[in-house]
Structure 1
Amino acid sequence: MGMSVTISAATAQDAEAILKLQYLCYQTEAELYGDYGIEPLTQTLDDLRAELGRGHALVARLGDEVIASVRGEIDQAGTARIAKLIVHPRMQRHGLGGRLLDAIEAHFAGDPAAKRFQLFTGHRSEGNLRLYRSHGYAPVATREVGPRLTLITLEKDAARAQGDYAASA
């Protein structure tokens, strides 16, 4: 009998599992850019707990195992900053990243303060860029953070996304 993946709000008790999964998932990014000092690999459990307390996080579970996560928060300008969308390597390419992205957007779309969704990824992270573009995100800025890494910031309008959620309901 197979198990289905469930998506729900993360709790404080999920912090350690999220951090371990984050460390696993960002190994390929670190290798791609030749930098194992990236923030997702150096974040402490206390920092993650504080981040979870400030914003909203989701986890995807297969049974009791946390196999994916995403988190974000809305800033004072109305930007819902979506971050650290991670999927266990064995669960990738099954649509789970897209489901999590849709779910976190739906959460923030319900907040009248949210004017836009924003996220970023590295310039060599083709899979991430493909996913974000397929969900309506468009590049709005680039920032060189070192000789090997340029961050691409992508955005989409929250009001347009709200219409998408209403149409699919």
Structure 2
Amino acid sequence: MCGIKKAELSDLKEILQLQYLAYQSEADLFGSRDIPPLKQTLDEVVEEFNSGVILKMVNDKNAIIGSVRAKESGGTVYIGKLMVHPDHRHKGYGTMLISEIEKCYPDKCYELFTSTRSLDNIYLYQKLGYTIFARKAVNDELEFVYMEKK
């Protein structure tokens, strides 16, 4: 059985290692390891920890197998870095993590973004009530879709 709770400072190194592993599939969509989640530093994760909420999902051996982050600004909650260990995907854990991060900020407007190539992510977010409100091309290879839930 998995449990979700707020991450502690001492968890951030393990969460960053999970991030490097979990975002390999995203990098594969572009044929490049040059994506922000694979270049993020521990100091940057600590900064996110200090300015928002980071949740962790642990398995029965207390290993972190999932995580999500959020930060509120101007009445909107920005959700990011949803990740589940590749061995534990398609079990509903992403849905559970999004649900829990929304509970940390009740009755707010939520926003997140993902790559247009990440069809599984877009499907998941739409299933959870998020709708696309904008698209932004970063370069010839990368376009983001921005989604919200009110």
What is residue 154 of structure 1 aligned with on the other side? 147
Larger Rg: 1
Report the aligned-residue RMSD: 0.9
Equivalent residues in 2 for 1:1-169 (5 A)? Answer: 4-62=1-59, 63-75=61-73, 77-109=74-106, 114=108, 116-157=109-150
5+ unaligned residues in a row in structure 2: which ranges? none
Gaps of 5+ in 1: 158-169
Residues matched between the structures, number: 149
The Cα of 1:22 is off from its aligned counterpart by: 0.2
* Partner amino acid, structure 2, of 1:155: E
Query: Taking structure 2 as the reference length, what is the TM-score of the superposition?
Result: 0.97
SS in 2 for 1:15: helix
**C-alpha distance after superposition, 1:101-128 (max 9, x if no partner):** 0000111116xxx3x1000000010110
Q: Whole-Å Cα distance in 1 between the matches of residues 32 and 113 of structure 2?
A: 17
In structure 2, the residue corresponding to 1:101 is in which secondary structure?
helix
* Matches of 2:30 and 2:135, distance apart in 1: 16
**Shift of residue 30 of structure 1?**
0.8
Stretches (4+) displaced over 4 A: none
TM-score (structure 1 length as normaliser): 0.86
